[in-house]
Amino acid sequence: MNTIIGTDIAYAASLLANDEVVAMPTETVYGLAGNGFSETAVRKIYAVKNRPLYNPLILHVPSTDSIPQLVKHIPETAHALLKKFAPGPLTFLLPKKEIVPDLITAGSHKVAIRIPQHPMALQLLENCSFPVAAPSANPFGYISPTKPEHVFNQLKNTIPYILDGGNCDAGVESTVVGFNENDIPVIYRLGVITQEQIKAEVEDCLMHESNADKHLQSPGMLKYHYSPKTKLIISNQLSADVLNYNADEIAVITFQNQLPQNQVKHQIQLSTNGSLTEAAHNLYAALHSADALNVKLIIAEEHPNTGIGKTINERLWKAAAK
Ligand code: TXA
Ligand code: MG
């Protein structure tokens, strides 16, 4: 199959209506889109990604109005968060109605729903008469794509079309939030929207156990994810650590530091002015580029652990866990 990169939203919609899967731009990362109500399309998504069936998919819809047909109940706190963050990089875990296939939720009674903020994604979704299932458009376990070329390099000849919406704004995935029996938001996956931002809207916001900071002590215990093929380690004393290697056998990814050329030949600064938002925007592209250098080792600098810096560090630890 020949993979075409283009900007034809109507064509992408027609492919989706015919059970094909296409790459779709969003403000977070590129998604691998398919008709969420079609078993054929959803199975294709899992197959193209080589993703195990136990890992559920997010349904994407064009507006809050599309949510009630999919879920039994929307807590007040979810309403408040929808009002603030939809469209946007927040994914809502809500009790699913019968109409949502078990294949989407991997058997769970909760379904993940998101309204993306990218204008082309919204137009595409408006052109579809069904919710669009879309995991990140990378092979399972590998780095998520933030540019059409990332998708092309990873999935070429396995999908017919990549809808080109340019570089993704945010650069890391959405935050996944569920609600406990008291309707308090619980973060299942750290992402663009921070715990502090959610607290600012609805007072309280908890972290699901899987996000507890224990991974900072034992990254090896984690299942790897977001991983380059090249071995990656994390450093909080970069200037010292690089001295253990030859300048040309490593690639270094820093937050805003620059190391001397004679110590590292390949270095990527994620933000020149110390902005964590800019660092998140550049993170995956840096990992893709570093991985393409064929060096022995990638050393990534640990980021300040506040705001979206927590998300960056979490992604780095998972990338290092391979
Ligand atoms: O930013 C994003 O969320 C991107 C763009 C394309 O929208 N999508 C994305 O999808 O990151 P994916 O499949 O790579 O990650 C979805 C995450 C996974 O960690 C999955 O386990 C979780 O959401 N998830 C999805 N449905 C779930 C459910 N019903 N219950 C619990 N977790 C769920
Ligand atoms: Mg993913």
Q: Over the range 142-165, which residues count as b (16 or more CB within 10 Å of their CB) and which as e? A: bbbbbbbebbbebbeebbbbbbbb
pTM listed for this prediction: 0.96
Q: Which atom of ligand 1 is nearest to the CA of 106?
A: 29
List, edge to edge, every strand of the sheet that includes 250-254: 231-235, 297-301, 250-254, 266-269
Q: What is the pLDDT of residue 267?
A: 97
Question: What pLDDT was estimated at residue 119?
Answer: 98
| Neighbour count for residue 295 (Cβ, 10 Å) | 21
Atom of ligand 1 nearest to the CA of 28: 1
Mean pLDDT of the chain: 95
Taking alpha carbons only, the member of 136, 122, 127 closest to residue 29 is: 136
Give the position, in ligand 1's atom list, of the atom nearest the Cα of 116: 7
Q: Which of 50, 173, 174, 223 for a ligand 1 pocket mutation test, highest count of atoms within 8 Å of Cβ?
A: 173
Q: Specify the pLDDT at position 198.
A: 98
Q: Write out the chain's pLDDT in tens, 322 residues.
A: 999 999 999 999 999 999 999 999 999 999 999 999 999 999 999 999 999 999 999 999 999 999 999 999 999 999 999 999 999 999 999 999 999 999 999 999 999 999 999 999 999 999 999 999 999 999 999 999 999 999 999 999 999 999 999 999 999 999 999 999 999 999 999 999 999 999 999 999 999 987 655 444 444 445 678 899 999 999 999 999 999 999 999 999 999 999 999 999 999 999 999 999 999 999 999 999 999 999 999 999 999 999 999 999 999 999 998 7
pLDDT in tens, 222-244: 567 889 999 999 999 999 999 99
Ligand 1 pocket, Cβ-based, cut-off 6 angstroms = 26, 28-29, 31, 55-58, 89, 91, 93, 105, 108, 110-112, 114, 116, 134-136, 173-174, 176, 188-189
At 83 the pLDDT is: 98
* pLDDT the model gives residue 120: 98
Query: How many whole angstroms from 114 Cα to the centroid of ligand 1?
Result: 9
- Ligand 1, closest atom to CA 110? 29
Q: Assess contact for 235 and 302: CB atoms under 8 A.
A: yes
pLDDT for 224? 74
CB 194 within 8 A of CB 310: yes
Going from the Cα of 110 to the center of ligand 1, the distance in angstroms, rounded, reads 12
Dist. CA 20 → ligand 1 center (Å): 20
